[in-house]
Amino acid sequence: SAYSIMRLFFGLELTPSVKLSIEKWREINLPPLAGPVPAANFHITLAFLGTVPVHQQEALLAQADRLTNQAFNLTIDQMGYWPRPRTLWIGPSVVPVALNNLAGNLSAIAGRLGLPGENRDYVPHISLYRKQASNPPVCLMQPDISASFEQFCLFESRPGRQGVQYHVLARWPLDS
């Protein structure tokens, strides 16, 4: 209906094998902590959109169609902790220009549609725990997980009885 809204974000999908590597690293290097994100939900947000009214969804897709961003590789090699959202995450210490450009272009699209933008600098990350109230324990080894990204996605975040689930609604290729 004209009133239906969806909670959306642009992001990078991780392959099952990368998700599994992250899950294994977490198991070995961190004790059980509060609010673990299930491995199936591991992803990298590019631009958060929030609730997008149906009448804006076509424009959103059309503007994403016009982007011509480059593919890139990432090495996930560091852990971080944000006390305010209580999020423990891992991410790349080196952020390729292509990734910054992509995230910047996507949040510009959000801005043009009047959707809530991010004021903070873009920090690519994979959230591992969402309810971690204090600094994480020092871990034995930093992660060292590489992945190549040849597309970006529009995700829908669906709340469910078993927690949130992410569904890819659309994919766009990155230029190699």
Catalytic residues: 43, 125
Contact flag: residue 9 with ligand 2AM (CB under 6 A): yes
Residue closer to ligand 2AM, measured from CB, 48 or 149 = 48
Binding string to ligand 2AM for residues 112 to 151, with x set by CB under 6 A, is what?
A: ------x--------x------------------------
Binding string to ligand 2AM for residues 31 to 50, with x set by CB under 6 A, is what?
A: --------------x--x--
Cα–Cα distance for residue pair 94/72, rounded to 1 Å: 12
Total of residues contacting ligand 2AM (CB under 6 A): 8
Q: How is residue 117 written in tokens?
A: 């933008």
Segment (H or E) for 42: none
Other Cβ atoms within 10 Å of 175 Cβ, number: 10
Report CA 88 to chain centroid distance, whole Å.
14
Cα–Cα distance for residue pair 82/20, rounded to 1 Å: 24
Residue 116 near residue 9 (C-beta atoms within 8 A): no
Residue closer to ligand 2AM, measured from CB, 5 or 175 = 5
Contact flag: residue 157 with ligand 2AM (CB under 6 A): yes
SS3 126: strand
Residue closer to ligand 2AM, measured from CB, 21 or 127 = 127
Binding site for ligand 2AM (CB under 6 A): 9, 45, 48, 85, 87, 118, 127, 157
